Structure 1
Amino acid sequence: MTKTTQIGVGRAGITAGLPLAVQVFLPRFAVEKDRLLAVALVHNNSDQKRDCSFAWQIDASLAEMPKPAPADWKLVEQNGKLVGTGHVKVAAKSSAKVSVWLNLDRLGTARVGFSATDGKESDAEVRVLPVLPLGRPAEVNVNNELAAVPLAKPTEKIVLGKFNKDGRIQLPAGFLASELDISLAASDLAQALADLDYLVDYPHGCIEQTMSRFLPVVMIKHATQHAPIALQPDITKKLPDILAKGLTRVYGYQHADGSWGWFEKDSRNFSMSVYVVYGLARCLATGTKVDEQVLRSGCNYLLQELRTNQQDPELAARAWYALALAEKADTKELETWSRDILKRSQQAAILCNLALACRTAGLNELGEQLWSKARGWQPHETESLALFLNTQL
């Protein structure tokens, strides 16, 4: 804006640069045994020509100069690095290229540096070039368990005990170890024990809450008999009372026709009945005493409902598995039902439950056919994943 209020727009540009500057050009990475050309540019931004001496400094690789070589070219080793020196003339306001061949025979990282000077001005740049292995494993995964060591004092109330293990990891020949990741996790049983006190103190409610409270306790107690791990003493004392009250409550909620509902005097519910029969069968399998009449009556109800063919196929498949666990499944009916599902259903949850039912009932070949059809399932939810892994075993 002028004094007379005239307004205008002006543009100007400025270029900043060193009188003498260098740039090094390398690929993002190289592979073992590669032979590639590293290029450096020497920029003369002044109005006078320059006679520059340059130096390549290279480690983790071998180098040779392209022919014809520049003036006074020499390649020597200094302190474990290859240093190549020479002279190059750069015209005013111009650039000159200096190249060197890299023979990359070492894995890891090649450090490539270039510098130039005319005695008055100088510049340098260092670049890093990752050298990857050729045809070798990029990653090695190892997993193992920590063996339990007996407690120094057996009377100590330590649930998980003390663990210790020394060992070595055998890496493949020629493997380049550049990074190590360690992941530690408690076993599934130890994680279950962490929440056991919550289940023990959870109040009784509907039949689903009752089953969900005492059934995990039964399974964990059974598991601790086959693993070097112990329950906390206060929980051990509570278990008999929890099991007795839980089973008594389950027995009392059973309807006259053998079914169960959510509560004692509500309508029957096929889903809850399947859950209870499954739970009682699991208890029986772990050595927990179960009222045979209650279990038999519940199984008869499930069989009657299955024969109506009016139940949801996935729920029906779970019912067949519960019956097989209770050793009350009619194998001929189970085989007929399973072969029909095998022809017309693609639902993996149905196929997995029926595969478990058939295996448990002794129909092993049919069980494998069902599992083969469900093998490609990729579940994400916890319950579905547990079903898939259980079928896979």
Structure 2
Amino acid sequence: GEALLRLRALAGDRGDAMELTIPVFMRGMKRVSQGNIVLRGSEGETVVSLPEDAMEEGAVLDLSLAPTLTASLNESLKELIDFPYGCVEQTMSRFLPAVQVKKLLGSTKFPLAPEVSEKLERVLDEGLRRLYDFKHEDGGWGWWKEDATDPYLTAHVMYGLALARKAGVPIRSDSYERGLQSLSGQIDKEALEALPSLYRAFTLAGRSDDVVEKRIKAGWHQLQPSQRVQYLAALLNRSQKDRATLLLDELKKEVRTEGSAAWLQDDDAYSWWYSWRWSGSAVETTAMLLESQLAVDASDPLVSSLAEFLVRKRSGRWWNTTRGTATVVTALANYAAATGELDASYVARLSLNDREIGRYVVKNGKLVQGSPSLAIPMSTLKRGDNRVRLDREGREGAFYLSAQLGYFVPPESADRTPGLAIERRMYRLTPRQNAGEWRMEYVPLQSGEKLAPGDDVEVRLTVDNKEDMNFVIIEDRLPAGFEVRETRNDPRFASYSSYWDWYTHQERHDERMAFFLDVLPAGRHEFRYVLYPELAGDALALPASVWPMYVPSLRAESGLWQVRVER
């Protein structure tokens, strides 16, 4: 939460005062258990778990309920808007759904929550400013401002900018034209597997290339389903509906079904939500197929089956990654706009662990009784599985529930993952100058050892990974009262240059340091930075952590670190 400090100074009839709001963090590691109900029949249930080592303080079960699909997507939009980092992909994952929502706001088919509506224009404005700033000299984009241009990111950004233009969002013509030039150049030189993504963006911008289409046609059967469905979108962008329909009919032969749900996935996609290939997860590929099928024939029975799969694979408020969530939200928003939702009426009851906690009345697709969001405190929950259940009278329409149980575990309960580990060590630094050159003396610091304000401390984060990993985040929590030392322009740290630029990007926040890498090869890797205490007192650094951005379940954490600062 937050703490408000008020200071007042009085001197006779004169005085002054100030207020300062500071963040207050739990002495623990945040964990989340999520569940989801899509109620089309008379009953549905999901389970969220509160482990035995969960701390008493800070555990809350947040429930969100909605009578329509579009209303339920507001929670996913909030998740994207509040995501704490902002590489090009994550910026686009906020920007693209915002563009789509803006396009639909002229109708009554996308009821936007007030807190999302208030942020919509800001998301669009900030997204554009960040994309303009991150553009490379060659007109393309990478994951960050400082890295190499990437064909998939360039295609992703240009697709979003072209879509924004069509939605009436003003786009700077110089950035747009330079982006098209970069896109064209990459189309000429990239391998077959990158062409569908590049060409989808190229055609949405009103361009075409017969040579590219011949290359894709010749290599069609070498492409994975996620790549083929992007080429379908490119043909539809060119109004080549007949050609797209023929290829769509062929691709639909690879669709898999289970009950009323249907999906499409690459041969080597290793889960519903994750894939090493760009947009290769089952949820992303299925979402793109849904958009193509809507454009060809929205009345096809496959449409509802694809949408059913996507809503089933929602994990709490989102689809586990920013890119996957953005792709699915955009597709489901189009689905709702194209097909409409049944204006059903029914009564539903919400229960937790067999105790009724809410009654809901829906009339003509609108919630007229019952709170759309509930926060259930720890005192109402139990250790182990907590069963959330919906029962209703009537079978028309649907009722959507997302459950997110947030809790904290002691910092000693660090995550362990086979094949991935992170270790944090601290060293007291003493600079020595000899003959005009600086050198550092390093003395290992033990947890609990004393420091004085201003002492320099080197943090060494060592990551061991047995396999190559892509798009990795390394995050280190700072102790309260500590600041990160700026070493680049400090002559005492000239020897640090070898630690500055081998990672892709670095961010310094008030309470954490973060490093980002496009690729982390298998092996042992070290990351260093320097911090110093400003305030006296006992301080604790929560565990450092490492995880691949698009496989957040693969996570490792270090031990904690404690220190006493005395003047």
Normalising by structure 1, we get a TM-score of: 0.49
Structure with the greater alpha carbon radius of gyration? 1
TM-score by length of 2: 0.34
Higher strand proportion = 2
Report which structure shows greater RCO (CA 8 Å, sep ≥6).
Answer: 2
